[in-house]
Amino acid sequence: MHHEIHPLRIIVMGVSGCGKSTLAQGLSLALALRMKDGDELHLPESVAKMSAGIPLEDADRWPWLDRIAAYLKSSEGHASESLGGIVACSALKKIYRDRIRKNAGPVVFIFLDGNAELIRDRMTQRLGHFMQAGLLDSQLQALEKPSLDETDVISLDIAQSVEAILQQALKNLKTSSTQTHTFSSLSI
């Protein structure tokens, strides 16, 4: 059976404060893939809303999700970046994940799941981030945890060290059933 090879496109997802950016940076180094924090792809108006403690609406998110998909897809055709990329992005609802899938092509989502109090504690310790800890409740309400029919999702518990989460992510990526990606050429 022949599988079509696609660039490895990873979305590290979950609510704010769960460790998306940290894991995405670790994966970027381990896999030699370019990485972008999804926050960098928000429009200034959206950043201003979140900084003021105002949750985004879907109308704010659609163009953002399209920019995320475009970033992942843009690695195609560039010899130095042909293996894909990584984006840290909340992707809280299935409809958001579906939009990324539709526009980026095959993607692997790594869902960082954890206890609300642990995440709240981490958020209050962050310095200089525009996302207010008070918005965690709205994110937890909006979160649609990936279901079993989302076979391109790897779920990881954040109640362990960053290094343990990274190693678990790498192991799961390597043994994932999504073998249509360029895993064989990566030194995982």
Query: Which CATH number is 39's domain given?
Result: 3.40.50.300
| Residue 71 banded pLDDT, cuts 50, 70, 90 | very high
Its pTM stands at: 0.83
Residue 74, domain member (yes or no): yes
Residue 79, domain member (yes or no): yes
Q: Which two tokens stand for residue 112?
A: 């960082």
Residue 3, domain member (yes or no): no
Rounded mean pLDDT of 85-103?
96
In Å, what is the CA distance from 38 to each residue of 14, 43, 72, 80? 12, 11, 11, 22
Residue 174, C-beta contacts closer than 8 angstroms, at least 6 positions apart: 183, 188
Residue 159, domain member (yes or no): yes
Residue 2, domain member (yes or no): no
Number of domains making up the chain: 1
Q: What is the pLDDT of residue 187?
A: 43
Q: What is the pLDDT of residue 150?
A: 96
More confident residue, 100 or 174: 100
More confident residue, 14 or 52: 14
The answer, yes or no, to whether residue 126 has pLDDT greater than 60, is no
CA separation for the pair 66, 53 (Å, rounded)? 24
Most confident segment among 47-51, 80-84, 106-110, 126-130: 106-110
The answer, yes or no, to whether residue 1 has pLDDT greater than 50, is no
More confident residue, 66 or 57: 66
Residue 1, domain member (yes or no): no
The residue range of the domain holding 143 is 8-185
